[in-house]
Amino acid sequence: MHLYVSLYSLLKNNLNSEFTVYILTDVTNEEFVDNLSFLYQIGNLADCKIIEVDSTVAAAYPLGYHFTKAIYYRLFIGQLLPEEVKKILYLDCDTIVDGPLDDLFKTDLKEYVLGAAPDHYLGALDKLERLNLSKDIKYFNSGVLLINLEKWRSFNVESRVLAYIEKYSDVIEFADQDALNTVLHYDYKELSSEYNFLIDFKAEREEGEDEISPAIIHYIDASCKPWFYMSEHYLKERYWAYLRETPYKDYREVDRNLNNILTKFLISVKNAFIRLAICFAKKIPFLYKFLRAIYRSQYNKQGGKAAT
């Protein structure tokens, strides 16, 4: 379902572009296949090809957090996709496209293997240190990748990344993303964060920095996936807006139950109290900063929008 919503949002917001979509999966979902006719009716889906990947190809590789073996399938795109495909946009399933991607598609990757946006999540500097990379390098998130497939193949990215994973599996925490950053840290082009808007980027920005209108929203943290009732992601409703326009519009969150309804109500009461306290504390600078820090910390954990 999540893949379907992501794909629908891509097609709806880019009606002037025609797409051939390749789906890498180890299990074909029959409901998804039955609902493809709805996507074709939008008018800009030229073809949707489902490529079944043998799950054993990733059986030996390290996982972590909420990752599954499927996260490694993208490494094999050089051999799985037709030779005539020279450039692709890779998207994780926990994304929605919330705007046109014309400028992204025009990105010149002639000198680069791929384009990717910086990863602002969970301390990028810590990741660089763990991987023994220079602090001058920007660690990128691999959930959205604009890939120059010609260079991907000529650079033997698949074999180089897999070799790194096998050799340094003890330092890997973020699956192939760590390996891609290590192998390609000088061969990728930095993209704007609007093309991979991570859940906590707004909370981490300093006050006064420009707002970003995300073209691709990435619901990166397991606890903030918008299809969960307990998710407090401040862009959750954008996902549901697209979902309601698809054949999956009757979806009901699996975690919607009486206990969680009560818990969510109590959380909203607590946050309302904190906001009220912040308003009164504005006349006392040190108290204001203290309460505001608590509020921001709470919403960072929930993937929400921190108060300013």
Query: Looking at this protein, which amino acid is placed at residue 216?
Result: I
Res. 307 pLDDT band, cuts 50 70 90? very low
110 vs 46, 86, 113, 182, CA distance in Å?
Answer: 26, 11, 8, 21
Identify which of 101-105, 175-179, 250-254, 286-290 has the greatest average pLDDT.
101-105
Beta-ladder partners of 216 = 97
Name which of 139, 116, 124 is nearest 195 in CA terms.
116
Q: What is the mean pLDDT of the chain?
A: 83
Best-predicted range by mean pLDDT (68-72, 129-133, 245-249): 245-249
Domains in the chain with CATH codes: 2-198 (3.90.550.10), 221-302 (no CATH)
Query: Given the DSSP bridges, would you call strands 95-97 and 216-218 parallel, antiparallel or unpaired?
Result: antiparallel
pLDDT, tens only, 190-203: 999 999 998 654 44
pLDDT in tens, 242-270: 999 999 999 888 778 888 788 877 877 77
Assess whether pLDDT exceeds 60 at residue 88.
yes
CA–CA dist 138, 91 (Å, integer):
20
Tokens of 185: 């840290």
What gap in Å lies between CA 100 and CA 90, rounded to an integer? 16
Which of 7-11, 94-98, 222-226 has the lowest average pLDDT? Answer: 222-226
Comparison of pLDDT for 172 and 82, the residue scoring more: 82
Q: Among 8-22, 24-38, 157-171, 195-209, where is mean pLDDT lowest?
A: 195-209
Residue 62 has a pLDDT of 64
pLDDT at 203 (0 to 100): 46
The predicted model gives 140-154 an average pLDDT of: 95
Instruction: Provide the sign of the torsion angle of the four alpha carbons 50, 55, 58, 63, taken in this order.
Output: positive
Sign of the torsion formed by the C-alpha atoms of 188, 190, 191 and 193: positive
Mean pLDDT of the 72-81 span: 93
The lowest-confidence range among 15-29, 102-116, 186-200 is 186-200
What percent of the chain shows pLDDT beyond 90?
A: 49
pLDDT at residue 303 tops 60: no
Q: Which DSSP helix (H) or strand (E) runs through 90?
A: strand 87-91
Which among 162, 181, 135, 184 has a CA at the least distance from the CA of 57? 162
